[in-house]
Amino acid sequence: MSTEVRPVKTPKPVPPLVAYLIIIVFTATMFVIGVIIGKAFFWENYDTTPIADRIIEVAKQKVAQDPKNPKNYVDLGWGYFKKKDYNNALSQYKKAIDLDKKYYPAYLNLGILYIETGKYDLAANTLKNAIALQPKSSNAHLNLGIAYTKLGKYNEALKELNEAYKLSPGSTRIIYEIGVTYEKMGKIEEAKYQYKSALEFDPKFEEAKKALERLNKK
């Protein structure tokens, strides 16, 4: 007696449109579940404090724990600086210097603060002190160059900016600031060359891009 062997029926393929609908529904469902879980367990506990306020809070704790460490006051001043509370930033940087007359970061940050607030003579003098403490500080030479440019002392500015570049070759910020100085001097072609050089290193450098576009329109 023979047994009839029936062919196995293969499942029909799911139409592409139906498959896409299944994927979309599944993805949407998982997204909703994720939102519910995130809201219930994570998002309400996430720290939304602005970064400047967090820096200030941590630095205040460090000052309270170690009030004779100038670094803690510089950190606190940096938090106030980021918050654009320049008076409090100034106070903290000066406290750091009072604690240690040779603490280079305090002079550097104070010099940058003076540039930000338009006190360029004070900035130049403060940054000279920073350089006396750290002659190979590219950042100090850079900012002193910026201060000199603001004061219209272009030759001094170029000297400092070129020194900064020797210490940090390839720095697009330094190249850009050299361009700014040349532009202030009325040396447009030299300025264009510097802006182009900055963009070769960093094509997304918006300040250099806008400066070059401005000069090309003249």
DSSP assignment of the chain equals -PPP-PPPPPPPPPPHHHHHHHHHHHHHHHHHHHHHHHHHHTGGGS----HHHHHHHHHHHHHHH-TT-HHHHHHHHHHHHHTT-HHHHHHHHHHHHHH-TT-HHHHHHHHHHHHHTT-HHHHHHHHHHHHHH-TT-HHHHHHHHHHHHHHT-HHHHHHHHHHHHHHSTT-HHHHHHHHHHHHHTT-HHHHHHHHHHHHHH-TT-HHHHHHHHHHHT-
- Contact assessment for residue 142 and residue 123, using Cβ atoms and an 8 Å cutoff: no
pLDDT in tens, 146-175: 999 999 999 999 999 999 999 999 999 999
pLDDT in tens, 80-123: 999 999 999 999 999 999 999 999 999 999 999 999 999 999 99
For residues 136 and 123, give the distance between their C-alpha atoms in angstroms, rounded to a whole number.
Answer: 18
> Would you state the pLDDT for residue 52?
87
Is the per-residue pLDDT at 47 higher than 60?
A: no
> Would you state the pLDDT for residue 75?
97
- Contact assessment for residue 76 and residue 56, using Cβ atoms and an 8 Å cutoff: yes
- Contact assessment for residue 52 and residue 40, using Cβ atoms and an 8 Å cutoff: no
Domains of the chain, residue spans: 51-216
pTM of the model: 0.77
> Would you state the pLDDT for residue 172?
97
Residues 6+ apart with CB under 8 A from 101: none
Is the per-residue pLDDT at 63 higher than 60?
A: yes
Is the per-residue pLDDT at 41 higher than 80?
A: no
104's torsion region: left (phi>0), alpha (psi -120 to 50) or beta? alpha
Fold of the 51-216 domain: 1.25.40
